[in-house]
Structure 1
Amino acid sequence: MSRLSECFKSGKKILNIYCTAGYPRLDSTLPVMRALQDSGADIIELGMPYSDPLADGETIQKSSAIALGNGMNMAVLFDQLKEMRKEVQIPVVLMGYMNPVLQYGFEKFCADAAKVGVDGLILPDLPQHEFENKYKKILDQHGLDFIFLVTPETSEERVKKLDALSSGFLYAVSSSSTTGGEKDFEAVERYLQKLQAYQLRNPIMVGFGIKDKKTFQDACKYANGAIIGSAYIKIIQHAQTPEVITKSFIQSILN
């Protein structure tokens, strides 16, 4: 059983925290990941910095720009992650965009991700038909889960298709906007109730606009858990060490 499957088997509401590799400093990647695990996060979504992150709002865009300026790139990332599994036991999902992955080489990327112990990928700009016809077999070969995104505008037929293709979980974007914005949670709840009624194969994780205890709990009413990104990126921006501020942030959500 994969680490992601094991994680959802517990039945608890899952907290997935997004962090940007190489942010706020180049050598922050593993200390931040350790702090997230030790403070109670269930999954780490590790962002691979890219100069044109289409789905990300201003906060995560800025963190990507800082990380790139710090010298983060794919080779550096995998070098940093080679010792990851000595210290980090929770699931780790890489989130990014196709351009840098293709530049690195898709098969090499998947091989290196699997080698360091990555569990799955989120690549929002990988089209479904290309995934099915070209890339799925490579991901399967390396034992990597692949997580598709759905939005409130995604048709029932397409949601069920993407659910069938996904493994690990299905990423329910709370609204058709970028990360970090304010959300109408009554509308989000109606959307999540609709997804729940589809009786999907994968657990549902909600992202975009989750930032504190209330929004986490609201998101979890009709989902298996939620993803927090921009709110966490903001609080570690000036932290010299991530441990204390990460623990305080996560406890404010879970307690």
Structure 2
Amino acid sequence: MSLLNENRLSKMFSSPGKKRSIYLTAGYPKLHDTVPLLEILQNSGIDFVEIGIPFSDSIMDGPVILNSHQIALGNGMTMDVLFDQLAAVRAHISIPIVLMGSMNPVYQYGFDRFCKQCEKVGVDGLLLPDLPVIEFKKHYSDFYRENNIAPVFMISPQTSSARLAEIDGLTESFLYAVSSSSTTGASSKMEDSQAYFEQLQIQNFRNPVVIGFNIKTREDIKFVSQYADGVIVGSAFIQALEGGFDPDKITGFIEGLKD
């Protein structure tokens, strides 16, 4: 599978340097905070952003992100609201945007309609952790291609070599390597996954590898960056937003992740 046009994700990864990403939940902490957060993250030097689509029954997430989903839904976040918020974002946001969420709300919205909206507002990649690879190939890959959306897939310590090769062949962006078998926000140490990271490093992947889940500190980022092309910080950032939208606090949090 090849995208019709090179998009912002592929251009970003073709540039030198390790990439840093932040996960945020759409509509959290307040309904209209999503776009202002994108602006602060871009201005703070974040390379790309994952926007989580709130869903009440997300299977991958731990209590911190699940709670943010519940609050966002309570705030009134819906798929239509999110696309309305992103409608004019490309006038001032140039960093890549990846949407991440469960298959259920996307399916309910209408997959074709969803992908068309993604292209319209400038979404670059889509990660649906519970979309099986076989279903992607049979039923959904054309929607990605027709709308120039880069498919993103997760890999884990349990992913077999054959499946790694298959996923790498289908990906047109980056491989999202889950740091461990736990949910987001768990307390496992990055050093516990060193053997897994070393195995990832020696694979001859076609795509860059970005590691996420449970990365919370500058030290975590420094350690993981030895083995990957980028890192994603999620639960720790959501926790930093718990007191509400505070630009200085957010900027300070991002600065605290830098070397």
Aligned 1:1-255 pairs, distance under 5 A: 1-241=6-246, 243-255=247-259
- Please tell me the root mean square deviation across aligned C-alpha atoms, in Å: 0.9
1:145 & 1:112 partners in 2: Cα distance? 14
Give the CA deviation at 1:8.
Answer: 1.2
Cα deviations across residues 168-221 of structure 1 (Å, max 9, x unaligned)? 100000111100012232332211211121210010000111011000111110
1:173 partner letter: V
**Equivalent residues of 1:39, 1:246 under 8 A apart:** no
Cα deviations across residues 45-93 of structure 1 (Å, max 9, x unaligned)? 0000001110001000000000000000001110110011012100000
2:190 & 2:221 partners in 1: Cα distance? 11
1:41 & 1:145 partners in 2: Cα distance? 19
2:104 partner letter: N
1:148 partner letter: F
**Equivalent residues of 1:239, 1:245 under 8 A apart:** no
2:19 & 2:175 partners in 1: Cα distance? 13
The number of residues matched between the two structures is 254
Residue aligned with 1:59, SS: helix
1:251 & 1:11 partners in 2: Cα distance? 20
2:138 & 2:54 partners in 1: Cα distance? 27
TM-score, scaled to structure 1: 0.97
Q: Could you list the structure 1 runs, at least 4 aligned residues long, displaced by more than 6 angstroms after superposition.
A: none
1:237 & 1:78 partners in 2: Cα distance? 24
**Equivalent residues of 1:50, 1:68 under 8 A apart:** yes
| % identical aligned pairs | 46
**Equivalent residues of 2:33, 2:245 under 8 A apart:** no
Give the CA deviation at 1:132.
Answer: 0.3
Give the CA deviation at 1:11.
Answer: 2.1
Give the CA deviation at 1:230.
Answer: 0.3
Residue aligned with 1:254, SS: coil
1:187 & 1:202 partners in 2: Cα distance? 24
Higher helix share: 1
1:248 partner letter: G
1:134 & 1:212 partners in 2: Cα distance? 39
TM-score, scaled to structure 2: 0.96
The farther-off stretch of 18-27 and 177-186 is: 177-186
2:9 partner letter: L
Gaps of 5+ in 2: 1-5
1:192 partner letter: F
